[in-house]
Structure 1
Amino acid sequence: MSARARLAVLISGSGSNLQALIDDSQRADAPFEIGLVISNRADAAGLERAGRAGIPTQTLSHRGFETRAAYDTALAELLAAQAPDLIALAGFMRILTPGFVEQWQGRMLNIHPSLLPNYRGLHTHARVLEAGDPWHGATVHFVTAELDGGPAILQARVPVLADDDPARLAARVLAEEHRIYPLAVRWFAEGRLVLGSDHRAWFDEQPLSAPVILDASA
């Protein structure tokens, strides 16, 4: 891996996690740079964020492709042309095919708004409130073919407050996403984080039996 790892970011929406990665990549000590941002939606606000930062962008709409596999083949070709060291999914609202995931195994991260393995999928904030859980949060994990099921690396926890509704809870969780995603990307870029042959996340040459947990920042 080069002195600064090359990162490709996949988005579908506003790109707030992309912005957190952009901000971190612009620090003097950043071990990574963002070489490409790809969206499946031309109206994704994250494309404007990337443009303001001078980062090349591509739009690859999923419309017009007959199958998920056909779309993922086209996506893989775009990525291969850039040869990224790591792909970061940042609100990319596509379920990737097993063939695509296998191609990038160990070089693709995702951030999910729950304390995985709890609450995979959508509407996590409302589901946490309905269940009456005392804690909620976000998880950075390696991507595997199992939806939101790859090895967890890093989690941030936030307490669920008595007056929370889904929007308020989501806002606090999102702030923590912005804190932990750049950190996990840094770990990967520095060579401290790998997906082992045992399909576990390894950090500083030790397998993680559980994700690193950070409580909400003050």
Structure 2
Amino acid sequence: MSCRTVILISGSGSNLQAFIDTLHPQQADIVAVISNRADAYGLERAAQAGIPTQVLDHRDFPDRASYDLALAALIDAHTPELVILAGFMRILTAGFVARYHGRLLNIHPSLLPKYTGLHTHRRALEAGDQEHGATVHFVTEELDGGPAIMQSHVPILADDTPESLAERVRATEHRLYPLAAMLYISGRLRLMDGHACLDGNAIAPCGLRLDQFETDMRGHRND
């Protein structure tokens, strides 16, 4: 049975498109796409795929808590089993996070725990890092601090700019995020006692490596 999924966005929705192309509707039945911005291009992507959209503008609310209460009411009306943050540029309140404990996923453009917050690509270049990437994690009250599920890695090239690095990382995100979500949908991935667990076993603190996991999957298919 397809997993009822709500996706939250704020911008272009490229990761949303990856979900639409990869998982919808056979695995992830995306029952709604909700944005805090009416001009988010991701709303058009959803509409083109026949997915219902809603806009809840945070500027219409006096504070973060009241916005999150209204957002939760919108989400709950769709009775989702999974909530995906796909470029949703809002810091969520503790009450909101607790409401969806264990079924709220996010992707962050760095190899967490490095570079929480913004400007991750510039910060990786300024630090002289040799590699960079993205992390899918369960959402907890700590900003970008929930247990890591899976990471993609890309080498940092000598002539990289924040823009070129961001583009290469984004390309890996479109493989990474749907795959990590599929592990949840299939029942293999769960948040247990504060740990991301695959098949009941705790995942290492930095998460699974996308390239290694994909290689293992190909090996199993060829067995």
Considering the TM-score relative to the shorter chain, is it more than 0.5? yes
1:34 partner letter: I
> Is the CA contact 1:158–1:215 (under 8 Å) kept in the aligned structure 2?
no
Distance 1:160 1:12 in 2: 27
Between Structure 1 and Structure 2, the one with more helix by share is 2
| C-alpha distance in structure 1 between counterparts of 2:142 and 2:40, whole Å | 26
Equivalence map 1:179-218=2 (5 Å): 179-196=175-192, 198-210=193-205, 211-215=207-211
Q: Which of residues 111, 116, 122 in structure 2 aligns to 1:120?
A: 116
Partner of 1:6: 4
The alignment status of 1:18 with 2:16, answered yes or no, reads: yes
Q: Aligned partners of 1:140, 1:160: CA distance in 2, in Å?
A: 20
Q: Equivalences for 1:40-55 in 2 at 5 Å?
A: 40-55=36-51
Aligned length: 212
Normalised to the residue count of structure 1, the TM-score between the two structures is 0.95
Q: Deviation per CA, 1:1-43: give whole Å up to 9, x if none.
A: xx1111100000000000001111247xx42211100000000
Runs of 4+ with deviation above 6 angstroms: none
Which 5+ residue runs of structure 2 have no aligned equivalent?
A: 215-223
- Tell me, in whole angstroms, the C-alpha distance in 1 between the residues paired with 2:155 and 2:23: 29
Instruction: Give the equivalent residue in structure 1 for 2:86.
Output: 90
How far the C-alpha of 1:64 sits from its partner, in A, is 1.9
**Match 1:75 to one of 71, 74, 80:** 71
TM-score (norm 2): 0.93
Describe the shift of the 1:47–1:84 C-alpha distance in structure 2 as closer, same or farther (beyond 3 A).
Answer: same
Percent of aligned pairs with the same residue? Answer: 61
Counterpart residue number, 2:106: 110
C-alpha distance in structure 2 between counterparts of 1:136 and 1:185, whole Å: 21
What is the RMSD of the two structures over their aligned residues, measured on CA atoms?
Answer: 1.3
Q: Which runs of 5+ in 1 are unaligned?
A: none
Q: Deviations over 1:19-71 (max 9, x none)?
A: 001111247xx422111000000000000000000000000000121110000
The 8 Å contact of residues 12 and 39 in structure 1, kept in 2 or not, is answered as: yes
Aligned-partner SS, 2:152: strand
Q: Please list the CA deviations of residues 80-134 of structure 1 after superposition, one character each: whole Å capped at 9, or x if unmatched.
A: 1001000000000000000000000101000000000000000000000000000
SS at match of 1:140: strand
Q: Distance in 1 between matches of 2:210 and 2:24?
A: 24
What letter matches 1:16 in structure 2?
S
Deviates more, 1:205-214 or 1:3-12: 205-214
| Secondary structure of 1:162's aligned partner | coil
For residues 59 and 210 of structure 2, the distance between their equivalents in structure 1, rounded to whole angstroms, comes to: 39
State the match for 2:221 in structure 1: none
